[in-house]
Amino acid sequence: MIIRTVFGLALSRSLSLAWVSLIGLVPNSTPGGVGLFFVSLLGVFIILAMVVIVFLRRWRSLPVIRREPGRQLTPFSLLLSWRYQSVWRRMLAIILALAILGTLGSLTYVIAKPKAGERFTEFYMLGLDGKAEGYPQEITLGDEAKVELGIVNEEGEPVVYRIEITINGEKTKDIGHINLDDGQRWEGEIGFQAIKAGRAQLAEFLLYKEGVSEAYRSLYLWVDVKGGL
């Protein structure tokens, strides 16, 4: 009996993993894609369908109840069969009921309080042609090199940003008070100048959030600076 029970639990565990993999294929073919809500909802439907099937099979295989004279066999007769079950079967029935309640509770929680997406800020650099290429690699001392910087606020709230430009650790420019609402994008053509000539100078573009002293995001370029006339 114990071996049979352990085998049944192992089999049900394996089948549940297989079902989850197959369930993921259904929402994956929809425009919404795979999500926790749809996977949980389909999982609950399948579990309830399996419970109904098991209920009907158990209802049809109750010889003890059928032999009792004067008793009409209905789906509710399954509840009366509890006293005829062994301790192991009662424990399994309780575990199954708790699992169903836990699944329904989890689904209710997911529907009532969906998980908030990750909060972040996108900070990117483009060349003047609007592509992720064509960055300045060589400039002349005194001339201004230009790039296009972009910020996308995905923090879930309005944020005020500030951009600081440094070359070899020395601050050369500050662009402040870029106020963006949640989901709003900002792009701007930014120019910067080197302080002295030299090869392989590090130009950093540091993004700060208002009220925070440490840089939140950073971008950089290596540029060669030639001496001016």
pLDDT, average across residues 130-148: 90
Q: What is the pLDDT of residue 66?
A: 46
Q: How confident is the model at residue 98 (pLDDT cuts 50, 70, 90)?
A: confident
Q: Two tokens at 153?
A: 């606020």
Q: What is the pLDDT of residue 85?
A: 63
Q: How confident is the model at residue 56 (pLDDT cuts 50, 70, 90)?
A: confident
Q: What is the pLDDT of residue 191?
A: 92
Burial pattern 20-29, b for ≥16 Cβ within 10 A else e, equals eeebeeebee
For the ranges 60-74, 171-185, 193-207, which has the lowest average pLDDT? 60-74
Residue 194 has pLDDT above 80, yes or no: yes
Q: Please, what's the largest Cα pairwise distance for the chain?
A: 114
Q: How confident is the model at residue 23 (pLDDT cuts 50, 70, 90)?
A: low
- Most confident range, picked from 7-21, 31-45, 171-185: 171-185
Q: What is the pLDDT of residue 145?
A: 92
Q: How confident is the model at residue 65 (pLDDT cuts 50, 70, 90)?
A: very low
197-209 tens-digit pLDDT: 889 999 999 999 9
Residue 130 has pLDDT above 50, yes or no: yes
Q: What's the chain's length in residues?
A: 229
Q: What is the pLDDT of residue 37?
A: 66
pLDDT, average across residues 103-130: 76
Q: What is the pLDDT of residue 189?
A: 93
Residue 218 has pLDDT above 80, yes or no: yes
Q: Which domains does the chain have, with CATH numbers?
A: 2-112 (no CATH), 120-226 (2.60.40.10)
Question: pTM to 2 decimals?
Answer: 0.53
Residue 126 has pLDDT above 90, yes or no: yes
Q: What is the pLDDT of residue 151?
A: 96
